[in-house]
Amino acid sequence: MDVNQIRKDFPILKEKMNDRPLIYLDSGATTLKPNLVVEAENYYNTKKTSNVHRGVYQLSNEATELYEGARKKVKSLLNAKSELEIVFTKGATQALNLVAQSYGIHNVKAGDEIIVSELEHHSSFLPWQYIAKVTGATLKYIPLDKTGRITVENAKKVLTSKTKVVAINYVSNVMGYIAPIKEIAALAHEVGAIISVDAAQAVPHMKIDVQDLDCDFLAFSAHKMCGPTGTGVLYGKYELLNKMEPIEFGGEMIDIVGELESTWKDAPYRFEAGTPVISGAIGLGAAIDYLTAIGFDQIANHERELRNYAVEKLEALGGITIFNQDAETGIISFNIDGVHPHDAATIYDTEGICIRAGHHCAQPLMKWLCQPATLRASLYLYNTKEEVDIFIEATQKGKEFFSGVFF
């Protein structure tokens, strides 16, 4: 994998921030977009513009083929059984809410139990906190181990015959840990529960096989994997998806419409009311082609190598608390001791470095870590060792600045 070659695909990497070369260490929030993705969107917008599934004319057929072609690419990416198991949404958040609002509302009753964890992004557990509230079900948390991980042993402690849903992340957006989804899915199925997986931080960074995981639902966003914003995916086992009620009603999701009763198309189309983000799906398809050609194993190795390099250097600086020492993916969560993360982020900003500071949409985890906020550097295929070196220098400057060397 030739990083310098890859960097040429991302025009933004030639830009500057605060007069410094841009160093983008916030791919956990959203990734940069390669030319090829932008071109795929432009191709639809300039050459193939028309609505999908509607037109009788050739242009519409071609647009539909591009859109449905993207669905097939997602199917292959996840190793789903059929492309009919792939619902396009506006992002992982909408996908996870769809599971809660459709499957959850109709299958969870008072007295049932829903299992989440403190490691969740708000979009993973809030939809279920709401379902628990309106149905009278109980929301239970898998206790995290002392490093903040979800473990099979701890999942066993909370799973009971009352469990109806397990809603957890595959890779934590703060800690970068990979959760044992396959094992927990098997345990959930043993007690008759389904498992819904927030894979927003997983799909961009590693090979995913939904059949091997045997998860019931899995969600991710295009924009965290070199694709456009506004597009995401819900994978669902077809036998579940096709029994679920739609939550949005309108054009293109209907079968027969009557004055008092109507029927819906089969999944996935019943969940795609209205004109979808056509260019977004096509852009996602291009991003999948792009990442697949480079290779997910190569990407994962590159991230891990860079991460280890960065962690080693951070530790050598001293005065840095790293919250996820041994994470398997390219996320480093840390604080500079005695420096509020927002002060630190401003220092990085002046050095041209984009880094996330805050609660990362994971307030329960911040509470667990006993931190009001943390810093997060998240690495991807286009980051380099040289960038990590500059990041380390900036960290050193931040330490000195706030320890009063300048005053």
Partner 1 sequence: MSFSNLEQLYRQVIMDHYKNPRNKGLLETEGYHQVHLKNPTCGDDVVVQVKIEEGRIEDIRHEGTGCSICCSSASVMSQTLIDKTVIEAADIAKNFYEIVQGNEFDEELDMGDAPVYQGVAKFPARVKCATISWKAAEQAINELK
- Buried b / exposed e across 296-307, counting CB within 10 Å, b at 16+? beebbebbbebb
Q: Which of 55, 143, 319, 358 binds partner 1 (CB under 8 A)?
A: 358
Q: Which of 2, 293, 404, 405 binds partner 1 (CB under 8 A)?
A: 404
Q: Which of 47, 109, 342, 385 binds partner 1 (CB under 8 A)?
A: 342
Contacts of 53-61 with C-beta under 8 Å, sequence gap 24+, read 53/252, 53/269, 54/252
Q: Is 291 in the site for partner 1 (CB under 8 A)?
A: no
Helix/strand/coil for 197: strand
Q: Is 186 exposed, middle or buried (0-12, 13-18, 19+ CB in 10 A)?
A: middle
Q: Residue 223 or residue 360: which is nearer to partner 1 going by CB?
A: 360
Number of alpha helices (DSSP H) and beta strands (DSSP E) in the chain: 15, 17
Q: Is 259 in the site for partner 1 (CB under 8 A)?
A: no
Determine whether 370 is an active site residue: no
Number of residues that bind partner 1 (CB under 8 A): 22
Q: Is 370 in the site for partner 1 (CB under 8 A)?
A: no
Please report how close the Cβ of residue 371 comes to partner 1 at its closest, in angstroms.
9
Question: What is the spatial distance between Cα 405 and Cα 396, in angstroms, rounded to a whole number?
Answer: 12
Question: What is the spatial distance between Cα 98 and Cα 124, in angstroms, rounded to a whole number?
Answer: 11
Which range touches partner 1 (CB under 8 A), out of 104-112, 203-211, 311-319, 342-350?
Answer: 342-350
Q: Is 367 in the site for partner 1 (CB under 8 A)?
A: no
Q: Which of 224, 237, 356, 359 binds partner 1 (CB under 8 A)?
A: 359
- For 228, 281, 367, 403, 405, the CA distances from 68, given in Å and listed in that order, are 17, 9, 43, 57, 60
Q: Residue 26 or residue 303: which is nearer to partner 1 going by CB?
A: 26
Q: Is the peptide bond before 34 cis (omega within 30 degrees of 0)?
A: no
Q: Is 397 in the site for partner 1 (CB under 8 A)?
A: yes
Q: Residue 143 or residue 372: which is nearer to partner 1 going by CB?
A: 372
Question: Which amino acid type is present at position 151?
Answer: T
- Measured from the Cβ of residue 324, the count of other Cβ atoms closer than 10 Å reads 24
Which range touches partner 1 (CB under 8 A), out of 27-35, 137-145, 233-241, 399-407?
Answer: 399-407
Return the half-sphere exposure (C-beta side, CA atoms, 13 A cut-off) of residue 300: 18
State which of positions 11-70 bind partner 1 (CB under 8 A). 18-19
Q: Is 337 in the site for partner 1 (CB under 8 A)?
A: no
Determine if residue 274 is left, alpha or beta; phi over 0 gives left, psi from -120 to 50 gives alpha, anything else beta: left
Q: Is 343 in the site for partner 1 (CB under 8 A)?
A: yes
What amino acid positions are annotated as catalytic residues?
Answer: 361
Contacts with partner 1, residue ranges (CB under 8 A): 18-19, 340-343, 346-347, 349-350, 357-359, 366, 372-373, 397, 401-402, 404, 406-407
